[in-house]
Amino acid sequence: MPSFESRIDRFCQAHPEAPREDILATRLLFRTTQLLRAHIDRALAPFDLNMSQYLVLSLLSTDRSDPSSPSELSQTLDATRTQMTRFLDSLQSRGLVRRIASEQDRRSLELELTPAGRELLRKAVPAVHRAYRQAWSVLGGGERDQTSRHLQRLYAKLQQLEQ
């Protein structure tokens, strides 16, 4: 079975104007994202959580004085409203989060992490941090920092292109 890189090479031979390195970098970024998510999901499996659910719990854990709404979380996590509803339904059915009517606007909901949610998060955090360290250990601190800066520049450019 040909590797994706050899397939890109074949495509670029058929299309000499194709930006091979841009295509390769994009494909590597997509594949790396998938593998990193799967790695973290495996670390979270003993807690019956996935990365998205973990991120919801993590963000809510910092909200004590300024509660988040589902739409705010959705925007922060780049999730659709439907996805966020599914995440919250799952977490609420397990007693990990609560949806509460906003005191400022009864039509709006605020989210709250329950004591059970805080406890599960407390147990899951070390496993996730270990998974992050395992994944990024291939890069030294300077390389990782440089990679983060490059990704931030790419992210900013792509945001600019969206406007």
Asked whether residue 59 is assigned to any structural domain, the reply reads: yes
User: Residue 63 maps to which CATH number?
Assistant: 1.10.10.10
Asked whether residue 29 is assigned to any structural domain, the reply reads: no
**What count of other Cβ atoms lies within 10 Å of the Cβ of residue 69?**
16
**Whether pLDDT at 63 is above 90:** no
The mean pLDDT value for 64-74 works out to: 85
- This prediction has a pTM of 0.86
The Cα–Cα gap between 42 and 65 comes to: 32
**Whether pLDDT at 127 is above 60:** yes
| Each residue's pLDDT tens digit, 98-125 | 998 877 777 778 899 999 999 999 999 9
Residues 6+ apart with CB under 8 A from 123: 47
Asked whether residue 3 is assigned to any structural domain, the reply reads: no
Asked whether residue 91 is assigned to any structural domain, the reply reads: yes
Number of domains in the chain: 1
**Which of 4, 55, 49, 2 is CA-nearest to residue 30?**
4
| Each residue's pLDDT tens digit, 147-157 | 999 999 999 99
Provide the mean pLDDT of the chain: 92
pLDDT for position 141: 81
pLDDT for position 65: 76
Asked whether residue 122 is assigned to any structural domain, the reply reads: yes
Asked whether residue 34 is assigned to any structural domain, the reply reads: no
Asked whether residue 147 is assigned to any structural domain, the reply reads: yes
pLDDT for position 1: 55
Confidence of residue 2 (pLDDT cuts 50, 70, 90): low
Asked whether residue 12 is assigned to any structural domain, the reply reads: no
| Each residue's pLDDT tens digit, 14-48 | 999 999 999 999 999 999 999 999 999 999 999 99
Residue 121 sits in which domain range? 48-162
